[in-house]
Amino acid sequence: MCFVSEGGTTAATQEATRPRVELNGPAPDFEATTTHGVIRLSEWEKDKWVILFSHPADFTPVCTTEFVEFAKRYDEFQKRGVALLGCSVDSVYSHIAWIRNIEEKFGVKVKFPVIADLDQKVSQLYGMIHTPSASTVTVRCVYFIDPNRIVRAMIYYPLNVGRNFDEILRVVDALQTVDKEGVACPANWTPGQDVIVPPPTTQQDAEARAQNKEYDVIDWYISKKKVS
C-alpha cells in the first residue's frame, strides 16, 4: 500500500528520490546547526577524516555510554587525524543540557560538535532513520569519511546495542593503512599485523609471485607482508 503526503508525494517516490549513500561514493554535503555553531560538511575540518555518527536520543542510557566512550577516546581519534561529528533529531538546547550532564556525572569532556537535526534533514540525507526500527529517531549509524569527502565505510547498530569502539578505531587504522601502503587488510587485522599484497593479474606475474622471497607467499593469489 502506498500513502500520499499532503503535498501529493508518495512514500515510494520519496524513497526513490532520496540521495543514496554508497561506499566509495561522495558524502552528501549539508549545512547544519550544531553545539559548536553552524557547519557545512564540505568546509568543516577539511584536511581530516570525519566520523559522522547518529544516536537515537539525548538523555538515554545506551547513548550516554557511547558519548562517554567517544569523549574518553577523543585524543585517540585526534592522533589519527579524525574529527567526530554526532547527530540526532534532538534540539541544540537538549544537546547542550545532556552534554553538560555527561560532563558532570562522568567526569569527561565532550569536545566534538553534535548536530541538532530537528527537521531530519541530515538523518534523511544519510539514511539514518530506519522505519522498521523507529520513524522518529535515528539508529546507530557510523560513516567513515576521508579527507576527500568520500564515504569509505559504514556500520549500523540497532537501537538497543551499543557500538564497539575498538572496531571503530580498527576500521580507521585499516583504511589509513590501505591508503598509505596500497595493500588490503585480512580478517581480524589489527595494527602491527601483516597485510595482504594485491594479487597478480597475469599468469607470468603469478609464476613470479609464487617464487617471491620478499613476501610471505601462501600461494600465488595470497601473499602477506609487514608494514611499519
- Residue of 63, 87, 141, 185 marked catalytic: 63
Q: Among the CATH numbers 3.90.1150.10, 3.40.50.410, 3.30.1180.10, 3.30.1020.10, which is that of 182-228? A: 3.30.1020.10
3-state secondary structure of 60: coil
Residue 87 annotated in active site: no
- 228 pLDDT band, cuts 50/70/90, is confident
pTM as predicted:
0.90
**CB-based contact 118:34 (threshold 8 Å):** no
Helix, strand, coil percentages (3-state) for the chain, rounded to 5, are 30, 25, 45
> Across the chain, what does the average pLDDT equal?
92
Q: What is the DSSP string of 76-134?
A: HHHHTTEEEEEEESS-HHHHHHHHHHHHHHH-----S-EEE-TT-HHHHHTT---TTT-
Write the pLDDT tens digit of every residue in 37-68: 999 999 999 999 999 999 999 999 999 999 99
Task: Check pLDDT > 90 for residue 158.
Answer: yes
Residue 8 is predicted with a pLDDT of 41
CATH 3.30.1020.10 range(s) for the chain read 182-228
Residue 136 is predicted with a pLDDT of 87
Q: List strands edge to edge, sheet with 31-34.
A: 37-40, 31-34, 114-116, 82-88, 49-54, 140-145, 151-157
Residue 1 is predicted with a pLDDT of 34
**Cell (9 digits) for 200:** 597478480
Residue 19 is predicted with a pLDDT of 58
Taking the domain 17-163, which CATH number applies?
Answer: 3.40.30.10
Residue 2 is predicted with a pLDDT of 35
CATH 3.40.30.10 range(s) for the chain read 17-163
**CB-based contact 30:122 (threshold 8 Å):** yes
Write the pLDDT tens digit of every residue in 185-227: 999 999 999 999 999 999 999 999 999 999 999 999 999 999 9
Write the pLDDT tens digit of every residue in 105-157: 999 999 999 999 999 999 999 999 999 999 889 999 999 999 999 999 999 99
Residue 3 is predicted with a pLDDT of 35
Query: Side chain identity at 76, as an amino acid letter?
Result: E
Residue 37, phi then psi, degrees to nearest 5? 100, -175
Beta bridge partners of 10: 4
Residue 166 is predicted with a pLDDT of 98
Task: Label residue 7 exposed, middle or buried (CB < 10 Å: 0-12, 13-18, 19+).
Answer: exposed
